[in-house]
Amino acid sequence: MFGDPGGVSVTPESAMRVTAVYACVSLIAETLAALPLHVYRKEIDANGREKRVRLTDHPLYRIVHEMPVAGMTSFEWREMSLSHTALRGDSYARIVTGPDGRISELPPILPDHIEPFRDRGGRIRYRWWPDGLGPVRVLFDDEVLRIPHKMLDGVRSLSPIGTHRMTIGNSLAASQFLRSFYVNSAQPKGALMSPELLSDDAALALRKSWEDRHQGPQNAGRIAIFDGGLKWEQIGMTMDDAQYLELQKFNVADIARIYLVPPHKIGEMGAVTYSNIEHQAIEFVVDTLLRWVTRCEMRYNAYLLSAADRARGVYVAYDMKGLLRGDATARANFYRSLFYIGAMTPNEIRRAEDMNPYDGGDSYYVQGATTPIASLDGMLGIGGPGQSVDAAMQTMIEKIVSQALEGRDFDNGLNEALRTNEGGGNA
């Protein structure tokens, strides 16, 4: 489909035989398919605060959240859709409406059976072959839900597999070589060297005798006896052969770069440590998944909702809170620090966590226990004219210690010292 670099045919199907490609596509498709997908409506409460309400009774809710088409759950439908986009650059589904004009189902279309184009008026249209071979049908733009990967001309998408067929072809070729090397014994482990030229029959007889005595696990460790001048020569793996193993490791990172997936998410641990793996997991959400989420959400909202729905503030969105739960402690500390200095209100924190506001949650607070030292003068009544608060505190402490040494009660000594300093003088 995309040519054969190095004699290896690279198609979406053959590319999935590369473990790194399979892992990247599965990671993106299955992660997003597992996220809850809901229909919401923005509302303004009596106090002017914006909140969102989940519309479980909206006709589109059942389709995106439960079953877009008969025989496929929402998870399966979204997994297939995203897999098509990640492999072929596009995914398609027909938008089928019922008698009331509402969407009733979204049957998928294989990317090989449909082709986008612009008509003479510059509008997007689609040529569709229902069975892949028969007569072509032309579908209007509002009859197709398309999730494109990357477009350079506004019509055709770039296929990740087709664009990077050389990289993926190298990985397929390396895998075939290693299979031939290990399974078919492309290079023997050693050779019997004879000082005399052997006939074909003698060479075959010698090989059979050697294999019968030393091949297989039941003959492991048997002592070999050489006569007639025979010698055993070990043949090790050459550097060129060993580099194929390094090539496979490099290909994993190279394919991860195609999909902007952190290598550790597909099993290449490399420079990952336990101290930074949690932050790299957050980077995966922000740098990888967020663009896929945005790509899908904008298409869902543009093609699955009516203009009237969008005017009422209805929208479709993923719930991504679950992907960030692993860093809940860091988020809690961040919100706490901003809350205590009066930089965020409780409702602003709730909004950042996709939670609705509550009455009384728009006030700003500061940590009351944090008090300037200079204000202790008025609070404790210590410190005389020309005496610093530190000096006054030192005087009070010295009095308490001296009273304690005289056998007087510590608490009474503290109270007496405070009473003595109420007038600002020193006893």
- CB-based burial label for 267 (10 Å; 0-12, 13-18, 19+): exposed
d(CA 26, CA 279): 21
**Strand ranges (E), 274-409:** 314-318
List of the chain residues with pLDDT < 50: 1-3, 184-187, 239, 410, 413, 424-427
Task: Look at residue 182 in the predicted model and tell me its pLDDT.
Answer: 56
Which structure tokens are listed for 142?
A: 């509002």
Dist. CA 300–CA 60, nearest whole Å? 10
The whole-number pLDDT of residue 357 equals 84
CA separation (Å) from 79 to 25, 247, 347?
9, 30, 35
Q: Cβ(254)–Cβ(167) under 8 Å?
A: yes
CA distance 83 to 68: 16
The reported pLDDT for the residue numbered 204 is: 84
In sequence order, which ranges of 18-94 are alpha helices (DSSP H)? 19-34, 59-65, 74-88
Name the DSSP letter for residue 143.
G
Which SS3 state, helix, strand or coil, does residue 104 take?
strand
How many whole angstroms separate alpha carbon 258 and alpha carbon 22? 13
